[in-house]
Amino acid sequence: MPFAALPDPNMYYERAGAGEPLLFISGTGGDLRVKPNVFDGGLGQAFDLLAFDQRGLGQTDKPDVAYSMAQYADDAAALMDHVGWDSALVVGVSFGGMVAQELVLRHPQKVRRLVLACTSPGGAGGASFPFHEIDHLKGEARARHLMAFSDTRRDEAWAKANPELYEQLVQMSATDPFAGEPGRERGAWRQLEARSHHDTWERLPQIAVPTLIAAGRYDGVALPETQLNLAMQIPGSTLRFFKGGHLFMIQDRTAVPAMIAFLKV
């Protein structure tokens, strides 16, 4: 698979499919080596799909310097230039939705239509869960702490009523097959550090492309009220809630088809 030798950083990406160009920007800790990924779902079958490991993650460079949200957006724009795309449809999920906001604000000509999934504007509009504050939690401890935030239905009572499923979900979330790689922990922290400063709130009214805000009704990471704030702040945007938590795109089978329908208009 290809690397884009950008000025900063050297970026790993994958591209597959046919149709309109679609840039997919992944969430916190995104690594294309982890399967299944976006290429295994409906987006990969409906578009000419481009996805990448963001700086500090996966097989992309992990410089040990402070990162900014503007840099993440500029990285995405530079990758589009690298593959010869003047513009594209854009889907940003969670942290990737924060990057997508910066992308459309800093490079508005590059975005045709925009999907912001389970994300937040920061600032007065509300921030997503402060992952940087629990970076000391690792493995199972982190997975257990986040369970009820990922899906607010999975509270303590639910865990007691569904012990086998609870433990299965904990193990799935706690496992990192690439733990211990050089720079992995450092790059992940640099992403969380940049994320903690995300704030597009005052600039959101500048967004002038059709925008879908997609969210899970039971998301404790990107709260439902924050999605309402996004919808009110982005002119002409559409807000849709789906049955699920932060992983509603997997939990609700209607979610990805709804995104595809919006993007194909």
- For the segment 180-221, what is each residue's pLDDT rounded down to a tens digit? 899 999 999 999 999 999 999 999 999 999 999 999 999 999
pLDDT digits (tens, 9 = 90+) for 221-242: 999 999 999 999 999 999 999 9
Tell me the HSE value of 254 on the side-chain side, using a 13 A CA sphere. 7
Whether 6 has a pLDDT exceeding 80, the answer reads no
User: Buried b vs exposed e over 56-70: b needs ≥16 C-beta within 10 Å?
Assistant: bbbbbbbbeeebebe
Report the pLDDT value the prediction gives residue 5, as an integer from 0 to 100.
73
Report the pLDDT value the prediction gives residue 57, as an integer from 0 to 100.
95
Percentage of residues in the chain having pLDDT higher than 90: 80
This prediction has a pTM of: 0.94
**Rounded Cα gap, residues 163 and 179, in angstroms:** 27
Report the pLDDT value the prediction gives residue 60, as an integer from 0 to 100.
94
Whether 1 has a pLDDT exceeding 70, the answer reads no
**Rounded Cα gap, residues 26 and 92, in angstroms:** 6
Torsions phi, psi for 39 (to 5 deg): -75, -10
Does residue 149 contact residue 246 with C-beta atoms inside 8 Å? yes
Query: Who has greater pLDDT, 166 or 255?
Result: 255
pLDDT digits (tens, 9 = 90+) for 17-31: 999 999 999 999 999
Q: Across residues 118-125, what is the average pLDDT?
A: 97
Residues 6+ apart with CB under 8 A from 93: 24, 25, 26, 27, 117, 118, 119, 249
* Average pLDDT across the chain, whole number: 94
**Rounded Cα gap, residues 102 and 76, in angstroms:** 10
Residues 6+ apart with CB under 8 A from 87: 21, 80, 109, 110, 111, 112
Tokens of 30: 């995104």
Classify strands 10-16 and 3-5 as parallel, antiparallel or unpaired. Answer: antiparallel
Whether 83 has a pLDDT exceeding 70, the answer reads yes
Three-state secondary-structure class, residue 114: strand
**Rounded Cα gap, residues 116 and 97, in angstroms:** 5
β-sheet with 10-16: strand ranges across: 3-5, 10-16, 48-52, 21-25, 88-93, 111-117, 211-216, 238-242
Report the pLDDT value the prediction gives residue 254, as an integer from 0 to 100.
98
